[in-house]
Amino acid sequence: MTIAALLSAFATAPMTPSDRAARMIRLSCLDWAACALAGRGEPLAGVLRGVALGEGGRAEAGLFGGGRGPARAAALVNGAISHALDYDDTHFAHIGHPSVAVFPAALAVAEREGHGMGAMLEAALLGVEASIRCGLWLGRGHYQVGYHQTATAGAFGATLAAARLCGLSAEETGHALGLAATKAAGLKAQFGTMGKPLNAGLAAECGVMAADWARAGLRSNPGALEGENGFGATHHGADARGAFDGLGETWAFETISHKFHACCHGLHGTLEAMRGIEGTPGQLVIHTHPRWLSVCNIPMPKDGLEAKFSYRMVAAMALAGIDTGEIGSFSDDLAQRADLAALMARVEVVSDDHLSEMQARVLADGVELSHDLAAPMTLETRAARLSAKAEALTGQGAALEAAIAAEDLGAFRAQVFGG
Amino acid sequence: MTIAALLSAFATAPMTPSDRAARMIRLSCLDWAACALAGRGEPLAGVLRGVALGEGGRAEAGLFGGGRGPARAAALVNGAISHALDYDDTHFAHIGHPSVAVFPAALAVAEREGHGMGAMLEAALLGVEASIRCGLWLGRGHYQVGYHQTATAGAFGATLAAARLCGLSAEETGHALGLAATKAAGLKAQFGTMGKPLNAGLAAECGVMAADWARAGLRSNPGALEGENGFGATHHGADARGAFDGLGETWAFETISHKFHACCHGLHGTLEAMRGIEGTPGQLVIHTHPRWLSVCNIPMPKDGLEAKFSYRMVAAMALAGIDTGEIGSFSDDLAQRADLAALMARVEVVSDDHLSEMQARVLADGVELSHDLAAPMTLETRAARLSAKAEALTGQGAALEAAIAAEDLGAFRAQVFGG
pLDDT at A204: 98
What is the number of alpha carbons within 13 Å of residue A135 lying toward its C-beta? 28
| A372 bridge partner residues | A359
**H or E stretch covering A360:** strand A359-364
Test A194 with B218 for CB contact under 8 angstroms: yes
**Secondary structure (DSSP) of B328-373:** GGS-GGGGG-HHHHHHHTTEEEEE-TTS-TTEEEEEETTEEEEEET
pLDDT band at A254 (very low <50, low <70, confident <90, very high): very high
Lowest mean pLDDT among A368-372, A406-410, B192-196, B311-315: B192-196
pLDDT tens for A24-38 read: 999 999 999 999 999
> Nearest CA to B212 among B22, B70, B342?
B70
pLDDT band at B90 (very low <50, low <70, confident <90, very high): very high
Residue B145 has its nearest CB partner, among A46, A202, A234, at A234
Residue A383 has pLDDT above 90, yes or no: yes
pLDDT at A158: 98
pLDDT at B291: 85
**Which chain A residues are within 8 Å of B181, Cβ to Cβ?**
187, 189
Query: What ipTM does the predicted assembly reach?
Result: 0.94
Interface list for B 91-110 with A (CB within 8 A): none
Q: How far is A203 from chain B (nearest CA, A)?
A: 10
Q: What percent of chain B has pLDDT over 90?
A: 92
Residue B181 has its nearest CB partner, among A44, A189, A191, at A189
Residue A230 has its nearest CB partner, among B189, B212, B230, at B189
Is the CB of residue B91 less than 8 Å from the CB of residue B256? yes
User: Is A55's Cβ below 8 Å from some Cβ in B?
Assistant: yes
Separation between Cα atoms, residue B67 and residue B55, nearest integer Å: 12
Amino acid identity at B280: T
Residue of A nearest to B231 (CA): A187
Diameter of chain A measured on Cα atoms: 68
**Which chain A residues are within 8 Å of B195, Cβ to Cβ?**
178-179, 182, 218-221, 224
User: Is B198's Cβ below 8 Å from some Cβ in A?
Assistant: yes
Is the CB of residue A266 less than 8 Å from the CB of residue A288? yes
**Which chain B residues are within 8 Å of A47, Cβ to Cβ?**
213, 216-218
- Beta strand pairing call for B61-62 and A367-372: unpaired
User: Is B231's Cβ below 8 Å from some Cβ in A?
Assistant: yes
User: Is B186's Cβ below 8 Å from some Cβ in A?
Assistant: yes
pLDDT tens for B355-372 read: 998 999 999 999 999 999
User: Is B147's Cβ below 8 Å from some Cβ in A?
Assistant: yes
Separation between Cα atoms, residue A322 and residue A208, nearest integer Å: 41
Separation between Cα atoms, residue A413 and residue A64, nearest integer Å: 10
pLDDT tens for A105-164 read: 999 999 999 999 999 999 999 999 999 999 999 999 999 999 999 999 999 999 999 999
pLDDT band at A419 (very low <50, low <70, confident <90, very high): low
pLDDT tens for A193-239 read: 999 999 999 999 999 999 999 999 999 999 999 988 899 999 999 99
> Nearest CA to B31 among B99, B108, B121, B130?
B99
**Which chain B residues are within 8 Å of A183, Cβ to Cβ?**
185-186, 202
Test A182 with B178 for CB contact under 8 angstroms: no
Separation between Cα atoms, residue A81 and residue A41, nearest integer Å: 9
**Secondary structure (DSSP) of A65-119:** TS-EE-HHHHHHHHHHHHTTTS-S-BBTTTTB-HHHHHHHHHHHHHHHHT--HHH
Task: Report the pLDDT averaged over residues A314-323.
Answer: 96
pLDDT at B164: 98
Residue B66 has pLDDT above 80, yes or no: yes
Interface list for B 34-53 with A (CB within 8 A): 43-44, 46-48, 50-51
Test A230 with B146 for CB contact under 8 angstroms: yes
Residue of B nearest to A54 (CA): B58
Interface list for B 310-329 with A (CB within 8 A): none
pLDDT tens for B248-279 read: 999 999 999 999 999 988 999 999 999 999 99
| Residue B19 burial (10 A CB sphere; 0-12, 13-18, 19+) | exposed
Separation between Cα atoms, residue B78 and residue A245, nearest integer Å: 41
**H or E stretch covering A350:** strand A347-351
pLDDT band at A376 (very low <50, low <70, confident <90, very high): confident
User: Is A184's Cβ below 8 Å from some Cβ in B?
Assistant: yes
pLDDT tens for B319-349 read: 999 999 989 999 999 999 999 999 999 999 9
Separation between Cα atoms, residue B280 and residue B378, nearest integer Å: 28
pLDDT band at B305 (very low <50, low <70, confident <90, very high): confident
**Which chain B residues are within 8 Å of A70, Cβ to Cβ?**
55-57
Q: What percent of chain A has pLDDT over 90?
A: 92
**Which chain A residues are within 8 Å of B219, Cβ to Cβ?**
193-195
Separation between Cα atoms, residue B312 and residue B331, nearest integer Å: 16
Diameter of chain B measured on Cα atoms: 68
Residue of A nearest to B227 (CA): A189
pLDDT at A227: 87
Test A190 with B220 for CB contact under 8 angstroms: yes
Test B193 with A221 for CB contact under 8 angstroms: yes
User: Is A146's Cβ below 8 Å from some Cβ in B?
Assistant: yes
Residue B229 has its nearest CB partner, among A43, A179, A187, at A187
Residue A393 has pLDDT above 90, yes or no: yes
* DSSP letter, residue B15: P
Separation between Cα atoms, residue B98 and residue B150, nearest integer Å: 6
Residue A335 has pLDDT above 80, yes or no: yes
Which of B81, B145, B218 should we substitute to test contact with A (largest number of A Cβ atoms within 10 Å)? B218
User: Is B220's Cβ below 8 Å from some Cβ in A?
Assistant: yes
- Buried b / exposed e over B314-337, threshold 16 CB at 10 Å, is bbbbbbeebebbebebbeeebbeb
Test A187 with B182 for CB contact under 8 angstroms: yes
> Nearest CA to B260 among B375, B363, B383?
B383
Test A187 with B230 for CB contact under 8 angstroms: yes
pLDDT at A369: 97
**Secondary structure (DSSP) of A245-292:** TTBTTB-GGGG-B---SSS-GGGHHHHHHHTT--S--S-EEEEE-HHH
User: Is B57's Cβ below 8 Å from some Cβ in A?
Assistant: yes
> Nearest CA to B340 among B376, B300, B313, B365?
B313
User: Is B83's Cβ below 8 Å from some Cβ in A?
Assistant: no
Separation between Cα atoms, residue A347 and residue B52, nearest integer Å: 58
Q: How far is A147 from chain B (nearest CA, A)?
A: 7
Residue A263 has pLDDT above 80, yes or no: yes
Mean residue pLDDT across chain A: 96
**Which chain A residues are within 8 Å of B211, Cβ to Cβ?**
none
pLDDT at B227: 87
Test A70 with B55 for CB contact under 8 angstroms: yes
pLDDT band at A294 (very low <50, low <70, confident <90, very high): confident
User: Is A217's Cβ below 8 Å from some Cβ in B?
Assistant: yes
The three-state secondary structure class of B90 is strand
User: Is B140's Cβ below 8 Å from some Cβ in A?
Assistant: no
Test B187 with A231 for CB contact under 8 angstroms: yes
User: Is A413's Cβ below 8 Å from some Cβ in B?
Assistant: no
Separation between Cα atoms, residue B368 and residue B391, nearest integer Å: 32
Separation between Cα atoms, residue A265 and residue A271, nearest integer Å: 10
Task: Report the pLDDT averaged over residues B10-22.
Answer: 97
Residue of B nearest to A230 (CA): B189
pLDDT at B92: 87
Q: How far is B3 from chain A (nearest CA, A)?
A: 14
Task: Report the pLDDT averaged over residues A265-280.
Answer: 94
Residue of A nearest to B47 (CA): A216
Mean residue pLDDT across chain B: 96
**Which chain A residues are within 8 Å of B54, Cβ to Cβ?**
58
Domains of chain A with bracketed CATH: 3-257+381-417 (1.10.4100.10), 265-372 (3.30.1330.120)
User: Is A224's Cβ below 8 Å from some Cβ in B?
Assistant: yes
Residues near A36 by beta carbon (within 8 Å), at least 6 away in sequence:
A64, A78, A81, A82, A416
User: Is A185's Cβ below 8 Å from some Cβ in B?
Assistant: yes
CB pairs under 8 A between A and B: 183
| A122 bridge partner residues | none
pLDDT at B419: 60
pLDDT at A228: 87
pLDDT at B218: 97
pLDDT at B182: 98
Q: How far is B145 from chain A (nearest CA, A)?
A: 6
pLDDT at A265: 86
